[in-house]
Amino acid sequence: MINKDSIENLKNHIDIVDTISQFLQLKKSGANFKACCPFHGESTPSFVVSPAKQIYHCFGCGVGGDSIKFVMEYEKLSYPEAVEKLASMNNFSLTYDDTKEKKQDTKVIQEINKYYQKNFVDNNVAKEYIKSRGIFESSIEKFEIGYAPTSAETINFLKSNFLNLADAKELGIIDSGANGLYARFIERITFPIYSLNGSLVGFGGRTITGHSAKYINSPQTKIFNKSRLLYGYNLSKDKIYKRKEIIITEGYLDVIMLHQAGFDNAVATLGTALTKDHLPILKRGEPKVIVAYDGDNAGLNAAFKASQLMSHNDFEGGVIIFEKGFDPADMVKDGKIEELNRIFSKPKPFIPFSIDHIISQYDLNDPQNKQKALHDVNEFLNTLNPIYHDEYSRYIAQKLNIRENLIKVQKSTNRNNNVELSKVDIGELCIIKAILNDKQRLSRVLDVIDSSMFEYHKNEFEILITDINDVRLNAILLNEKLEDYSDERLNAEILILLGKFYSNKLNEVLYDKTYTFNEKSSLIRKIKDNIAMLKSGKLISYNL
């Protein structure tokens, strides 16, 4: 475990502007910096970085935190991984409480990759298969294609080279069973898989000797999670950023062949569908996303799920389905590069593709089936941003050959957790911001007011009392439209807040029939006394 004091020293050593500027292009804006948020699509910058507070906050989607939180979210890392990455980026040495717990040593996986590559050179069957798929020598070298031999040969290599067998097991290279140690990859062509930062983390393997599973991946380990990785991304990312486009395929060979044909912005999922865990990767550089899948049932269903995911997260791009048993790798092998260019230039947008797929499941000649199709597309439409409702209501009506008024859409709802504009009170927010700017003010303010006195922002004030460092308050702290109060101005605003509170309280008591006459008279007298004290300023000046 990383020592807590070491983490605090790291926080004091790093600067949030330096950290985030290594991932985003920041522009100066007053005392702060701004950028387009990397966590949701936007054209107007609402992502604010404060060097004074060492925090960031997006006013569009609500994310926020410090340098460690940013690296966690941007790189999809755990807290310890983000801390270690930041330490590496800043040449900072961390200390650990438990000397037995050490960072994963990846030497063994690097050595086994070299071993697989050497075996590939010496294995004619593996070379012949790769050659038959149209893969060039240059691509073999670029993607480090290898070959895993028998289990006994792999175990013998590890032992004879004095490589740590415990590390090999932790990294998913070997495992143990009833008959002792065995290799996970046996007689398979290997495709090394790299993390986003270019570290080797695992392998994909294709059988050429008839194993029941055609493809397998490394098991989940400390450094390998297939739902957070894309094959080939380490080689494609520069082109993806430059072209503002990413092509997502289903297999390793598709990626290799597309790169070979010049489509070097192609990647592949690792035997799993696109999931929300992939979104932070796909949002990097805000590229147009092209999902290019096979036309079989599995491919169509995967494309539909991907389309829904992309639609709900406002990604640009669309879907390409390869029919008649062809896939990108086959087309490259057959020299159909120009045809691929045309196909990739005209993907079916995600929302129409999703609508078409839903409708295709029903026989529209049957009125009952048409009604079911209408129900399902209505449900899908209601999950989308309201801005799409009108446009795609017309599209659905045309596809189903029905009147447009039969398309039912729900009323617009606020899709993020920001406060509704109708419930914003600038004065209350400025009081909270004043306390956040000088945390010593909190105890003095609590001598005079509590959360019940806030009409609109009671929840935010309660968060402030519970944890003044809560990241949910960053939106208030970094809001440049909220004035920075001096102590005198803060006192005056609290006076106004209390005045409103007691005036409202007086009206409540006057018209509340549950009080007796004596109770009501006593309460009214106390409230009026407080109002009189407020008007004289005695209560505020005395307590603050």
| 26-64: pLDDT as tens digits | 999 888 999 999 888 778 899 999 988 899 999 888 889
- What is the per-residue pLDDT for 522? 67
Return the residue matching tokens 């069973």: 177
Burial annotation 140-153 (CB, 10 A radius, 16+ → b, else e): beebbbbbbbebee
pLDDT of 542 reads: 32
Task: Tell the burial category of 313 from Cβ atoms under 10 Å away from its Cβ (0-12, 13-18, 19+).
Answer: middle
Percent of the chain with pLDDT over 90: 48
Single out the residue of 38, 59, 40 nearest to residue 48, CA to CA. Answer: 59
Name the pLDDT band for 207 (thresholds 50, 70, 90): very high
What's the alpha-carbon Rg for the chain, to the nearest Å?
30
Indicate the pTM of the whole model.
0.62
**What pLDDT sits at residue 536?**
57
CA pair distance 60, 40, nearest whole angstrom: 8
Name which of 159-173, 346-360, 372-386, 478-492 the model is least confident about: 478-492
Helix/strand/coil for 30: coil
The token duo for 439 is: 């945390």
Q: Name the token pair of 431.
A: 């009081």
Which among 21, 86, 76 has a CA at the least distance from the CA of 281?
76
Hey, which bits of 151-221 come out as E strands?
A: 174-177, 180-183, 188-194, 200-207, 215-217
User: Under a CB-based contact definition with an 8 Å cutoff, are residues 379 and 308 in contact?
Assistant: no
Residues 6 or more apart in contact with residue 254 via CB below 8 angstroms: 266, 268, 292, 327, 328, 329
Degrees to nearest 5, angle at CA 530 with 518 and 513: 35
Give the C-alpha distances (Å, rounded to integers) separating 410 from 104, 211, 240, 245, 366.
50, 51, 37, 33, 27
Give the least confident one: 3-7, 109-113, 254-258, 525-529.
525-529
Q: Please name the residues in contact with 41: beta carbons below 8 A apart, sequence gap of 6 or more.
A: 283, 286, 313, 314, 315, 316
pLDDT computed for residue 440 by the predictor: 86
- Comparing CA positions, the residue from 394, 418, 539 lying closest to residue 479 is 418
Length, in residues, of the chain? 544
- Answer yes or no: are the C-beta atoms of 342 and 369 closer than 8 Å: no
Give 170-175's long-range contacts (Cβ < 8 A, gap of 24+): 170/104, 170/221, 170/222, 171/104, 171/106, 171/108, 171/109, 171/202, 171/218, 171/221, 171/223, 171/224, 172/202, 172/218, 172/219, 172/220, 172/221, 172/224, 173/108, 173/109, 173/112, 173/218
CB atoms < 10 A from the CB of 322, how many?
Answer: 22
| Burial environment of residue 243 by CB neighbours within 10 A (0 to 12, 13 to 18, 19 or more) | middle
- CB atoms near residue 383 (< 10 Å): 11
Pick the more confident residue, 410 or 359: 359
Mean pLDDT of 480-507: 81
What's the whole-number mean pLDDT along residues 76-84?
A: 81
Class of residue 384 by CB neighbours under 10 A (exposed 0-12, middle 13-18, buried 19+): middle
Give φ, ψ of 152 to 5 degrees.
Answer: -60, -40
Mean pLDDT over 209-231 rounds to 90
Q: How confident is the model at residue 534 (pLDDT cuts 50, 70, 90)?
A: low
Identity of residue 276: K
Q: Is pLDDT of 422 > 50?
A: no
What is the per-residue pLDDT for 410?
58
Return the pLDDT at 537.
53
Distance, in Å, from the CA atom of 140 to the CA atom of 256, rounded to the nearest integer, reads 9
Mean pLDDT of 297-305: 91
Min mean pLDDT across 125-139, 337-351, 421-435, 459-473 is at: 421-435
249 three-state secondary structure: strand
Give the pLDDT score at 230: 95
| Among candidate residues 59, 83, 63, the one with its CA nearest the CA of residue 71 | 83
Can you tell me the distance from the alpha carbon of 444 to that of 275, in angstroms, rounded to the nearest whole number? 48
Between 530 and 106, whose confidence is greater? 106
Highest mean pLDDT among 57-61, 384-388, 408-412, 512-516: 57-61
Quote the CA–CA distance of 543 and 19 in Å, as a whole number: 42
End-to-end CA distance of the chain: 44
Distance, CA of 164 to chain centre? 35
What span, in angstroms and rounded, lies between the C-alpha atoms of 313 and 316?
9
**Crossing angle between the packed helical segments 487-511 and 517-536, to the nearest 10 degrees:** 160
Which sign does the torsion angle of CA 361, 366, 369, 371 carry?
A: positive
Q: Average pLDDT of the chain?
A: 86
User: What does the pLDDT read at residue 495?
Assistant: 81
Angstrom distance (rounded) from CA 345 to CA 318: 10
Confidence class for position 413, pLDDT limits 50, 70, 90: very low
Q: What is the mean pLDDT of residues 312-326?
A: 89
What letter represents residue 172's amino acid? Answer: G
DSSP 347: P
What is the per-residue pLDDT for 198? 79
The structure tokens 């798929």 sit at 133
Identify the band that residue 477 occupies on the pLDDT scale cut at 50, 70 and 90.
confident
pLDDT at 74: 83
